[in-house]
Amino acid sequence: MKRYKYTLDLHKVAHVETTVPDHLTIRTPTATDTAVLADLMMDAYPGSIDFDGTETWDDAWHEVDGFFQGRSGMPLLGCSRLVLAGDKIVSACLVGMWDERQRPLLYYIMTAADWKGQGLAGVALDQALQATAAAGYDEILAIITADNMPSEKLCMKAGFKRIDE
């Protein structure tokens, strides 16, 4: 699958405040969220271009556990955000360090199927971008599968620009 790289100058988001709806709370993730985030991944991704139908819950758990264990780069938990409705995680934006580029990278953005279309991925992303800027990073990257229009639209709305490489 072809993927494209995107970049965002975090100086542009450092002072932008987003409103979190009253019925939601935001928090940072911990490794104890691994199973719940695997559930969220399995709920969020079917029907998307990044889901071919052969993925299992164990695959999702391995992906999320790999994020927390730093198998692809150090997780930046202080920059990552979960959106909760009550005590249920309904959306997540997980940010980690991309070792190859030594820059923060959006590893996963996901929203529960029943909560899609309500702007929660945007809330999670905006909160994560603000936290990443506040942590002193100048830039954040994203890698988006070609034709993943929801992710591309979300990132472009946040100010990301595609890098031609």
Total of domains in the chain: 1
Cβ atoms of residues 127 and 90 within 8 Å: no
Identify the pLDDT of residue 101: 83
Query: Looking at residue 128, which CATH number applies to its domain?
Result: 3.40.630.30
Alpha helices in the chain (DSSP H): 34-44, 57-69, 120-134, 149-158
pLDDT of 72 reads 84
Write down the pLDDT at residue 21: 78
**Per-residue CA distances from 28 to 81, 82, 112, 114 (Å):** 5, 6, 17, 22
pLDDT tens by residue, the chain, 165 residues: 788 899 999 998 756 667 777 889 999 999 999 999 999 999 987 665 666 767 888 999 999 999 999 998 999 999 999 999 999 999 999 999 998 888 999 999 999 999 999 999 999 999 999 999 999 999 999 999 888 888 999 999 999 999 976
- pLDDT score recorded for residue 6: 95
H-state helical runs in 2-88: 34-44, 57-69
The boundaries of the domain holding residue 132 are 3-163
Buried-state track 5-34, b at ≥16 Cβ within 10 A, e below 16: bbbbebeebeeeeeebeeebebeebeeebb
Strand 24-27: give its sheet, edge to edge.
Answer: 24-27, 81-85, 88-98, 103-111, 139-145, 3-9, 161-163
